[in-house]
Amino acid sequence: MNRVEYRRRILEANDAQASVLRQRFADGRVLVVDVVSSPGSGKTTLLEATARTLPRALRLGCVVGDIATEMDADRLRAAGMPSHQIVTGGACHLDARLVSDGIEAASFDTPDESLPLDVLFLENVGNLVCPASYDLGEDEKVALLSVTEGHDKPFKYPAIFARAGITLFTKTDLLPHVDFDVDCAREQVLALNPGATVLEVSVKEGKGLDAWCALLQYKLDEKRRLKAIA
């Protein structure tokens, strides 16, 4: 079996597992958000701020993947978000089976297989390449691009920006100190995905968090409206 064929089989097996997850998430009426970026673009920092900004009535949870260490889950729990760490060892991305196992192991699971959550975040391994190929049963993939990474990155890493319905430019407080053309980066994202929503966020300055959280609330309400119709 050659590499292309092997990769096709891996992705097919993942897609099947992701379909099971998606059905389960639909039954549980939970909005599931896969958060993807390079290492150090601010995924955990964004989720900490999200936990502080979303209405307290919303029940949040996170399954977070890292090659090594449990630091991120510790940070998120300290911010008030129940979180389960998956240490992937060598694996450079979350796949549907890791997510499924993580949900089983997490304390926010219940025996009847429904998730008693409103929003479940999947914080992926820091990697702008491999996570783009793996369906996790999520409702939304969200791509983060820190302004320190450069405005050329959407075209250089097109798969994730084509697939993410929401792209956040993060650390915009550093814009005065770096050479990042926001309009250029936005045009690249929209060329790859004309329907994408692009937001600018600075957790340090508290900018853009209200819009991001309003968007999450809208997506949750929309999923539940559609579920009520179907």
Q: Which is nearer to a copy of itself, 41 or 108 (CB)?
A: 41
- Strand 31-36: give its sheet, edge to edge: 83-87, 60-66, 119-123, 31-36, 140-146, 166-170, 197-200
**Number of helices followed by number of strands (H, E) in the chain:** 8, 7
Q: Is 125 in the site for a copy of itself (CB under 8 A)?
A: yes
Q: Is 162 in the site for a copy of itself (CB under 8 A)?
A: no
Task: Count the site residues for a copy of itself by CB under 8 A.
Answer: 38
SS3 145: strand
Q: Is 206 in the site for a copy of itself (CB under 8 A)?
A: no
In the block, tokens 């499924």 appear at 100
Q: Which of 59, 77, 155, 224 touches a copy of itself (CB under 8 A)?
A: 155
Close Cβ partners of 176 (under 8 Å, ≥ 6 residues apart)? none
Q: Which is nearer to a copy of itself, 55 or 90 (CB)?
A: 90
**Which among 108, 106, 66 is positioned nearest to 88, based on CA atoms?**
66
Q: Is 2 in the site for a copy of itself (CB under 8 A)?
A: no
Q: Is 85 in the site for a copy of itself (CB under 8 A)?
A: no
Looking at residue 186, its amino acid is: R
Q: Is 152 in the site for a copy of itself (CB under 8 A)?
A: yes
Q: Is 175 in the site for a copy of itself (CB under 8 A)?
A: no
Q: Is 38 in the site for a copy of itself (CB under 8 A)?
A: yes
SS3 163: helix
Q: Is 165 in the site for a copy of itself (CB under 8 A)?
A: no
Q: Which is nearer to a copy of itself, 159 or 211 (CB)?
A: 159
Least separation, in Å, of the C-beta of 140 and a copy of itself? Answer: 21
Close Cβ partners of 166 (under 8 Å, ≥ 6 residues apart)? 140, 141, 142, 143, 196, 197, 198, 199, 215
Positions in the binding site for a copy of itself (CB under 8 A):
1, 3, 6, 10, 38-41, 66-69, 71, 90, 92, 125-130, 133, 146, 148-150, 152-153, 155-159, 171, 173-174, 177-178
